[in-house]
Amino acid sequence: MGVVPVGSAPPKWQLYAGMPCWIELVTPDLDSACEFYTALFGWRYENRRASDEGEHLIASHDGFPVASLRTSVECGARWRLFLATGDCRLACEQAESNGASVTTPPRHLSGIGTKAVLGDPCGVEFGLLEPETSWQFDVGLPATLMWAELLTIKAQTADLFFQELFGYTAAQFGTENQLDYSVWYLGEESVMARVSMLREYINDETEPHWLIYLGVDSDIGTDEAVRRAIAANGRVRVNPYDSPLGRVAVLRDPTGARVALVDASRAPEGNGIPGNYDPYED
């Protein structure tokens, strides 16, 4: 699958530069993480390669890749979002010129593509991926990526950086004093959202982060998925609630990574703009 700028080709057979195209869990306890996500989603794992980054697994659901998981003892457990690019090295240079820092230079991962990890000017990690032509990544289904939000204190800085890098347009919802929620688009496609952290929940230890939403099968539902998560040693951060995205809950997995669950079948018709409440620290 190729990666093209917005407007260069129909999105059906092309991936626009800046589209979410991979998610990666970085965790100090790979075994516990694997057990948790298998209990929730039935993920299966393949050890794609050994590297100086530690063990690296590809998670699949129904035979299609959905995420990668790898070990790291630095900075705790967290989910990363990777954004598509047609030229990973050039995109890294452009990001650096706009204030980002490259923390993991471009490297090739067999079956996935060339990937790099950067820190944006707001202090949030994100990835760039130049996918192989054979690349596959299931999204929009149960057990796969459904939505992503960037939660940050420096909302304007994030808007300027990512919109400059990928040409996103934005639709603003809420107000600065209540909910400052910006949905980013490529063409007519909603890509992800930026959420300005609520001031009453900010302290000296608050850090910006990605909140990754994973789909829940409607036959199971979010409430039952939360019960299964608790039984698998997950912790509830936000109890299930109804939102424009569907029935949502926010968890921490047993290794400490934040993750949201969403049953999209519970989304009201005609309203695709999610709102989220996320207390940032335990």
Bridge partners of residue 142, in order along the sequence = 215
Look at residue 220 and tell me if it is in a domain. Answer: yes
Q: Are residues 107 and 187 in the same domain?
A: no
Looking up residue 163, the CATH number of its domain turns out to be 3.10.180.10
pLDDT digits (tens, 9 = 90+) for 98-155: 999 999 999 998 888 999 999 999 889 999 999 998 888 889 999 999 999 999 989 9
The alpha carbon of residue 140 and the mean position of all alpha carbons in its chain are separated, in whole angstroms, by 13
Q: Are residues 81 and 158 in the same domain?
A: no
Q: End of a domain among 74, 107, 131? A: 131
Question: Does residue 282 register a pLDDT over 80?
Answer: no
Q: Are residues 103 and 221 in the same domain?
A: no
The alpha carbon of residue 174 and the mean position of all alpha carbons in its chain are separated, in whole angstroms, by 22
173-192: average pLDDT = 81
The domain containing residue 15 runs over which residues? Answer: 2-131
Q: Are residues 17 and 121 in the same domain?
A: yes
Look at residue 282 and tell me if it is in a domain. Answer: no
Q: Are residues 8 and 126 in the same domain?
A: yes
Q: What DSSP letter does each residue of the chain carry, written as one string?
A: -EEE-TTSS-TTSEEETTSEEEEEEEES-HHHHHHHHHHHH--EEEEEE--TT--EEEEEETTEEEEEEEE--SS--EEEEEEE-S-HHHHHHHHHHTT-EEEEEEEEETTTEEEEEEE-TTS-EEEEEEE-TT----BSSBTSEEEEEEEES-HHHHHHHHHHHH--EEEEES-TTS--EEEEEETTEEEEEEEEPPGGG--TT---EEEEEEE--TTT-HHHHHHHHHHTT-EEEEEEEEETTEEEEEEE-TTS-EEEEEEGGGSPTT------------
Q: Are residues 160 and 125 in the same domain?
A: no
- pTM exceeds 0.95: no
Rg (CA), the chain: 18
Look at residue 95 and tell me if it is in a domain. Answer: yes
Q: Are residues 7 and 50 in the same domain?
A: yes
Q: How many domains does the chain have?
A: 2
**125: how many CB neighbours lie within 10 A of its CB?**
20
Q: Report pLDDT for 18.
A: 96
Look at residue 105 and tell me if it is in a domain. Answer: yes
Q: Are residues 163 and 259 in the same domain?
A: yes
- At residue 160, φ and ψ (nearest 5 deg) are -65, -45
Question: Does residue 279 register a pLDDT over 60?
Answer: no
Q: Are residues 17 and 71 in the same domain?
A: yes
pLDDT digits (tens, 9 = 90+) for 212-257: 999 999 999 999 999 999 999 999 999 999 998 999 999 999 999 9
| CA dist list (Å): 110 to 89, 128, 206 | 17, 15, 36
Q: Are residues 162 and 191 in the same domain?
A: yes
Q: Are residues 102 and 184 in the same domain?
A: no
- Report which of 203, 230, 214 is spatially closest to residue 42, judged by C-alpha positions: 214
Q: How far apart are CA 100 and CA 96, in angstroms?
A: 4
